[in-house]
Structure 1
Amino acid sequence: MKKILLSSVALLGLASGALAADLPSRRAPAPVIAAVPVFTWTGFYVGVNAGYGWADSFDVTLPNGAVVRADSEDDGGFIGGAQIGYNYQIGSFVVGIEGDIQYADLGGATYIVAPGTVVSYDNSDWFGTVRARAGVAFDRALVYATGGFAFADNRTGWTVGGGVEYAVTNNLSLKVEGLYVNLQDDDFNFGGINYRGGDSDFGVVRAGLNYRFGTY
């Protein structure tokens, strides 16, 4: 009789365990936590900028080979324009390319090419650059160097500089940068004499706003 009772109790215990296993769990499900996207500088961007530019020197080469440095008639003026570019981030390093076109109020210069002979020169009222950029990102802050090709009218040259850019939102970033621009002046004829243009040098400090596509 005891064996029958013990067997019945065991069967009841097994049946209760099986029923309990089929019942829904009262334990709360684990919360689903979405991964926060990692910020990246990779992507295309467009923007605008404004700042100040000042002429450093204007040189001209005389027929005898002597170089005359012109006196600037204007200390400098407004610089403003637009830019477009692309960045690619590899770890903490960011490389890219940027092109810009600028209005430039840099005045002109006066050449004294010979005693009593004065030649006036008007600097271009615009210039553009196509530059490589390379820098280091500290999350949303980017410190970079830049350099490349510069042009104005039918003159060409080079530029070098650097800056700091900060992403205030996922798509908007602010930057401050400085450039040194060197352009080869045109040759010109005055009084039947050919003069060979030298270098035009000027500096630029500007702030910019970029809208960046494809932040993540």
Structure 2
Amino acid sequence: MRSILGTFLVLGLALTGADAADIVQPVASMDVPYSWTGLYVGANAGGAFGKVDGDFIGIPGSADIGNFTGGALVGANYQYGQWVLGIEGDINYLGFKKEFSPGANGGGGLGAEASVDAFGTIRGRVGYAFDRWLPYVTAGVAMGDVKIDEHVFGVAKTKFQTGYAVGGGVEYAFSNNWTARAEYLYVDLGKKDFGFDPIDPYNVRTNFSVVRAALAYKF
């Protein structure tokens, strides 16, 4: 009797184990949907293309921006269904410096040099996730120091200019922690009077486009 009971017990355990394996294995093999929720840090690199426009008593000048740009970024996402809401900040090197054209000796233009060493943005992001793919739009505040070295007045001034940034891109999570993206931003730092002349405004407007790639680590 004991041997029969032992046989049935061993058989029952074997069958139970087989059923459990059949249940667990498919569940373990199922793909878990990717979640974009979390904090992240990263780096970006690309190109900036635009111009700095100057105007003084109707005398125009323009300095074309065409430079490498790169920097660091930090942000956070929250996913609700397929919608992803986020906030992101970045600080970026630009290193742009160029004379206004036409210059003072080029037919009545401005005699000055414009430079922008760096710029930053704080933006909101809205995306719609297709599992590990995230197309998104972004908009927020842009800021940067614009320096004008005025040759006629012999004075150099730096102004902190603020404006806006808008754009969009697509991001892909190629692992649970790492993402890569391609992004376009239009950055407008607004118009500022540099005050070289106490009577007439010396207005300077800075705007440029940024095309860049970024790599980020999500915690």
Aligned-partner Cα distance in 2 for 1:193–1:45: 49
> Does residue 170 of structure 2 align to residue 168 of structure 1?
no
1:82 aligned residue: 72
2:163 aligned residue: 157
Distance 1:197 1:111, change over 3 A: farther
Contact 1:183/1:199, CA 8 A, preserved across alignment: yes
Matches within 5 A, 1:7-22: 20=5
Give the SS at the match of 2:162: strand
Contact 1:134/1:145, CA 8 A, preserved across alignment: yes
Aligned-partner Cα distance in 2 for 1:53–1:117: 25
Q: CA deviation at 1:97?
A: 0.3
2:154 aligned residue: none
Give the SS at the match of 2:72: strand
TM-score scaled by structure 1?
Answer: 0.77
Q: CA deviation at 1:55?
A: 1.6
Q: Which runs of 5+ in 2 are unaligned?
A: 146-159
Q: CA deviation at 1:53?
A: 0.3
1:24 aligned residue: 9
**What is the identity, as a one-letter code, of the residue corresponding to 1:142?**
L
TM-score scaled by structure 2?
Answer: 0.76
Distance 1:189 1:206, change over 3 A: same
Distance 1:61 1:91, change over 3 A: farther
Question: Of 28, 37, 40, which residue of structure 2 is paired with 1:42?
Answer: 37
Distance 1:59 1:117, change over 3 A: closer
Identity %: 41
Aligned-partner Cα distance in 1 for 2:61–2:135: 36
Ranked by relative contact order (alpha carbons within 8 Å, sequence separation 6 or more), the top structure is 1
Contact 1:184/1:197, CA 8 A, preserved across alignment: no
Q: CA deviation at 1:168?
A: 1.0
Question: Of 46, 51, 66, which residue of structure 2 is paired with 1:51?
Answer: 46
Structure of greater Rg: 1
Aligned-partner Cα distance in 1 for 2:47–2:116: 15
Aligned-partner Cα distance in 1 for 2:161–2:80: 36
Question: Of 53, 74, 81, which residue of structure 2 is paired with 1:91?
Answer: 81
Judge which range, 35-44 or 185-194, deviates more. 185-194
Aligned-partner Cα distance in 1 for 2:109–2:174: 55
Contact 1:142/1:166, CA 8 A, preserved across alignment: yes
RMSD of Structure 2 on Structure 1 (CA): 2.7
1:70 aligned residue: 61
> Does residue 25 of structure 2 align to residue 60 of structure 1?
no
1:6 aligned residue: none
Give the SS at the match of 1:135: strand
Distance 1:167 1:105, change over 3 A: same
Aligned-partner Cα distance in 1 for 2:99–2:165: 21
